[in-house]
Structure 1
Amino acid sequence: MPDAVASDQPTRLETSRVIEAPAADVFRVLCDPQGHVAIDSSGMLQDATGDPVTAAGDSFVVHMDRESLNDYPELGKYDVTVSIRDFDQDRLISWDILGRVRPQIGHVYGYRLEPGAEGGTLVTSFYDWSDIHPDWAAAGIFPVISENALRATLGILDRTVRRGYPRP
């Protein structure tokens, strides 16, 4: 495991929002590969292949398009594997991104869910790059996704859940 990134800069972003839905409904979207595509605010996630995840160690493939961020458009379209790291039904899901780059980057995305009053759920989205490989830390390109993008994704998640996605 690479050493933690030594920096005065933060290496983790978190933002929260109450979603007026049961945690199980929110979690169902977060476990579905197509749910990830449906709620992505960056525009990078174009499609996904695989079954909904049910445990740590499960994975699925996401078809990406980096041109959406306009930071490395030469990457064009590519695939990454989402590998589930933490899985606590209706409470926590996090994942590593495994791609074609070497060394692997080592950043982690995820959501914590806390059921609240009146059927709502406090959903916290997080993005952590504290354990990225030193080669990537030296590149100075993190965070790839901003706090505003995390917040926007929570807004899209709220709308998506309220509209009943995914339908049984």
Structure 2
Amino acid sequence: MTDRFEVPRVIEADKAKIFALLCSPEGHVTIDSSGMLQSAEGESVGAVGDEFLVHMDRESLNDRPMGKYDVRVIITGFEQDQWIEWSIAGMVRPPLDHRYGYRLESVDGGTRVTSYYDWSRVRDEARGVFPVIPETAIRATLGILARTVETA
């Protein structure tokens, strides 16, 4: 079994436009396909260590009775217009250290955006709940991202 999903998609938009949305807290809410991200607070990120707050609703997945809660998104990787990665600090202590990210590459017709979800760093005793979201949700989020930036 794998401990990482990675899904590419070519999006007909400029890297800078896509990356700006991915750096925006509200951008994360806009493109979320899981339904868990309800709203966000904070400034757009621009470096490793930057953070913002996301208000979550786990009932959207109907898998665990967590209800509504908040998480801090902490940027763990950042290269302007190329790569952004983050981890989540929420109710579980210490944080589980699962990571999400996007790599962007200019190609003919737009930008190849590769989205990934990596839970390889999660402690063995917590691995039973992973993956939290399926690979199809990563693919669906890329579809929402494309619709958002291609029509805007």
- Specify the SS of the correspondent of 2:16: helix
Q: CA RMSD, aligned part only?
A: 0.8
Contact 1:84 1:96 in 2 (8 A): yes
Distance, in Å, in 2 between the alignment partners of 1:133 and 1:46 is: 27
* Equivalent residue in structure 1 for 2:70, among 76, 79, 90: 79
> What amino acid maps onto 1:59 in structure 2?
E
1:22-67 Cα distance to aligned partner (Å, 9 max, x none):
1001001100000000000000000000000011110000000000
Partner of 1:145: 133
* Equivalent residue in structure 2 for 1:68, among 54, 60, 64: 60
Matching of residues 15-26 of structure 1 within 5 Å: 15-26=7-18
Give TM-score scaled by structure 1 length: 0.88
Tell me if 1:110 matches 2:98.
no
Distance, in Å, in 1 between the alignment partners of 2:26 and 2:108 is: 29
Gapped regions of structure 1 (runs ≥ 5): 1-8
Distance, in Å, in 1 between the alignment partners of 2:101 and 2:126 is: 20
> What amino acid maps onto 1:93 in structure 2?
I
Larger radius of gyration: 1
Partner of 1:4: none
Q: Which runs of 4+ in 1 moved over 2 A?
A: none
Contact 1:104 1:133 in 2 (8 A): no
1:101-154 Cα distance to aligned partner (Å, 9 max, x none):
123111000000001114x000000000001022212xx111111110000000
Contact 1:94 1:110 in 2 (8 A): yes
Contact 1:55 1:84 in 2 (8 A): yes
Contact 1:16 1:122 in 2 (8 A): yes
> What amino acid maps onto 1:57 in structure 2?
G
> What amino acid maps onto 2:123 in structure 1?
H
Partner of 1:154: 142
The size of the alignment, in residue pairs, is: 152
Contact 1:103 1:133 in 2 (8 A): no
Give TM-score scaled by structure 2 length: 0.97
Partner of 1:126: 116
* Equivalent residue in structure 2 for 1:95, among 86, 103, 109: 86
Instruction: Give the fraction of aligned pairs with identical amino acids, expressed as a percent.
Output: 59
> What amino acid maps onto 1:163 in structure 2?
T
